Amino acid sequence: MIEVLVNGACGRMGSTVANAVREAEDLHLAACVDIHAASPEGGDTYLGTPYFKGLQTALEAIKPDVVVDFTHPSVVADNIRTALAAGVATVVGTTGLSEETLAELSAAAPEVPLFVAPNFTTGAVLMMAFSAVAAKYFPDCDIIELHHDGKADAPSGTAIRTARMIAANRVQASTAPGKETELDGYEGARGADVDGVHVHSVRTAGHVASQEVIFGSLGQTLTIRHDSIDRASYMPGVLLAVREVRKHPGLTVGLEKLMDL
């Protein structure tokens, strides 16, 4: 039985993760942490488990096998630092961290497993893999990512990772007009430039998470799209990471590393 602590347990994703862990036969929801908890010492309960306001206090009291973090980009680095310092394997679904920050955090505790995924849905992982293949044949590419209006970062972690995978596999760079063609007063029309791939972020009520990768070449286009209709779509990937993270010391990025791709 794997003892799991969920950090950010009252959030949209955190509450879904906590319930998924609670329902898994081989996992035990050992504790929940959220800034909305009334008691910093774990005197309350949430989903039938001890409920803490602070991660450090929870780690000292519970000593879980794995911490799962779905909190906020502004606090996730400190959360990772706290968990790794305690020697606890950590699974991170909070996006917004740079590759440099992740490497720095992992270097401080190089033997402690740290798993980070820009997206935990298997369909999104396949979308990224297919896009990397298509990049060899289609020089022009734009990414449109659509998320709910509460998402705290833009572009999404999925879009950034997709763009970098495309850039790494391109045979030739796009010659399509870029930011230099944006009219004065309308800067941003071509979106964010991620390693030469333009990324456009949409934030509206009604979406969970969607991404289109639009490729173009002479006389043809190719669109690869993934939609998450419900946050339940993330749970198989999150639970896979919880079960596998302790087998991989150090930093691992991307759910594809745990899938047979």
* Residues labelled as active-site residues: 147, 151
8 A C-beta contact, residue 33 and residue 54: yes
In whole angstroms, give the CA distance from residue 83 to residue 61: 13
User: What does DSSP say about strands 49-52 and 66-69: parallel, antiparallel, or unpaired?
Assistant: unpaired
Sheet of 49-52, strand order: 44-46, 49-52, 27-33, 2-7, 66-69, 89-92, 114-116, 251-253
At residue 80, φ and ψ (nearest 5 deg) are: -65, -45
Query: What does the alpha-carbon distance between residue 202 and residue 145 come to, in Å, rounded to a whole number?
Result: 6
Nearest to 138 by CA among 224, 226, 222: 222
Residues 152, 157, 160, 161: what is their CA dihedral angle, to the nearest 10 degrees? Answer: 180
